[in-house]
Structure 1
Amino acid sequence: MRLSSAIAVFSLLTILLSGCGGGPRPRRAAAPPDDARAYRQCMAEVGKLDVQVQPLPDRTFANGCSATHAIKLVAIGIPITNLGAMKCMTALPFMQWVRQTVSQQAETTLGKPVVKIESFGTFACRPKNNVKGADLSEHGKANAVDIAAFVLQGGRRITVLKDWNGPDPQARAFLRAVHQAACKRFNIVLGPDANAYHRDHMHFDMGMGRYCR
């Protein structure tokens, strides 16, 4: 695991903060001791993996958004688009899902490895489902990630939108297998069967409760 230089961290932080669309200026977070302990334990587990990550400074915002105990996933085995800040305690099961589930399921079900995963992102300072007046999304806490598509060796692209209920039974089986595997790692997993908001992606987070749909 390689740490970034101060300049690289500052650049990444600037990109991260721009996701709040000119909202309140960030301030350093005073995280609860239990969270700090969980973060240390998480980083120790990450250090056992053959991955590259960059720790990010803690930040909170006056409107309730935060990115505390977050890391940037640099190289985790399969390239993934649009990843920003993600809490270590969410990033760890995500990396395990990518490395242990996605690759195996693709080979088993589709006969080819996944060479790229397309995401809709991680940290985003917004309410749930972008609905005005709704509670803060777990994305607003850097505690969630949305997965939209998988690109196979050779260029075939499997998308949640077109293939979840598409004509190819192998593509359907693959998407459902990785979805169900995610349910064993994350507290909340939402896909097209959950509601119309998730018709084009799978949402994973480590929020309160347990729900898989």
Structure 2
Amino acid sequence: MRFILACLFATMSFAALAQEGGDATVPLPKPRPAELSSEPAVQLPRHRPAAPPAAAPDKPVEAPDTPAEALATPDPIGPPLPPGEHTAEPAEPTAPPRIYQTACPAVLLGKVEAKALPPIEDKLCGTQSPLSVTGVLANGRMVPISGGVETDCGIASALPAWIESVDSYLKARDNTEIAEVVVGTSYMCRNVNNGSGGNLSFHAFADALDVIGFKLADGRFVTVEQGWSDAQSSEGRLLRFAHDAACAHFTTVLGPEANALHRDHLHVDLGCHGKTCTARLCE
């Protein structure tokens, strides 16, 4: 009993001393080793990094320069579209339709000097494979055609043999030759005899040609309008030979004796006459 009382007295005395001496501390338990702790150990830096220098209070911080062009450039995406609207997708380019044209044997063989033209479509008139003929082969040389003619392969194919026969006549008769063939109307969308009604002329299909005359190598210019009237003159005989020779190469030949509308030219075409298209109209 005395031992128990002595222990209580000692405990009370130690507590009193702890209150009086404020600098007395109770030792804390030692920390657990890092390898036994469930939390990872934190490695502290040996030296504290230096803080960045502060900006001077009297100097404002400037923003980086921005080009004026960049500020003025519009947004490439553009403003947002209203709900339910969308931009149309660009259409894929389509190939142009194929143009079906035929080659002309007279051009391939070099009997005419010509180039192909685009198809002619003019109401009811036109042709699919027109040519611009600027010369015909006659007696080994290319005879020019004034201004060129806009015609089809049929007329282009018949021209060389006809012009060659006229050229041969001039060499044999007058010791000269054709320097140039002078033409009038070739393609023209019109009716027969320029009428307000009736059938379309073969000029409307580039299948007819009007020849005004011939320029000769000796300097003469023989025209139908001036030379036809005197049948006994050199010019009159030349024009009549040209008229008659044309009847062997074309299906229609009309001259001053056909009607007044042809007083100044020789009209030639390849129109169909008769049931088999073999008849010829030569006036």
Relative contact order: is structure 1 or structure 2 higher (C-alpha 8 Å, sep ≥ 6)?
1
The residue type paired with residue 152 of structure 2 is K
1:115 aligns with 2:185: no
Distance, in Å, in 2 between the alignment partners of 1:68 and 1:109 is 41
TM-superposed deviation, 1:50: 4.5
In structure 1, what is the Cα distance between the partners aligned to 2:237 and 2:153? 29
- Larger Rg computed on CA atoms: 2
User: Whole-Å Cα distance in 2 between the matches of residues 82 and 125 of structure 1?
Assistant: 19
Aligned mates of 1:82, 1:74 — CA distance in 2: 7
Q: Please report the TM-score for the alignment, with normalisation by the length of structure 1.
A: 0.74
- Residue in structure 1 matched with residue 158 of structure 2 by the alignment: 93
Q: Is the 8 A contact 2:122 2:189 kept in 1?
A: no
2:134 to 74, 85, 100: 74
Q: Deviations over 1:172-198 (max 9, x none)?
A: 211111111110110101001111110
TM-score by length of 2: 0.57
Alignment of 1:191-210 (within 5 A): 191-209=255-273, 210=280
Say yes or no: does 1:139 pair with 2:227.
no
Q: For residues 132-159 of structure 1, give each alpha carbon's deviation from its aligned partner in whole angstroms, at most 9, with x where no partner exists.
A: 2132111111000100111111321111
Aligned residue in 1 for 2:116: 55
Q: CA deviation at 1:49?
A: 3.0
Is the partner of 1:147 in helix, strand or coil? strand
Structure 1's consecutive aligned runs of 4 or more residues displaced over 3 angstroms after TM superposition are none
2:207 aligned partner, one-letter code: N
| 2:4 paired residue number | none
Question: In the alignment, what sits opposite 2:223?
Answer: 159
Aligned counterparts of 1:167 and 1:208: Cα–Cα separation in 2: 30
CA distance in 2, matches of 1:85, 1:75: 12
- Shift of residue 45, structure 1, vs aligned partner: 4.0
Letter of the aligned partner of 2:219 in structure 1?
A: G
1:33-54 per-residue CA deviation (whole Å, 9 max, x = no partner) reads xxx7xx55xx234322354210
Identify the residue that residue 25 of structure 1 maps to in structure 2: none
For 2:256, what is the secondary structure of its paired residue? coil
Contact residue 67 and residue 85 of structure 1 kept, 8 A: no
Q: Which runs of 5+ in 1 are unaligned?
A: 1-27
**Whole-Å Cα distance in 2 between the matches of residues 65 and 90 of structure 1?**
17
Q: Which amino acid aligns with 2:281?
A: Y
| Higher-helix-fraction structure | 1
Aligned CA RMSD, in angstroms, stands at 2.3
The one-letter code matched in structure 2 to 1:66 is G
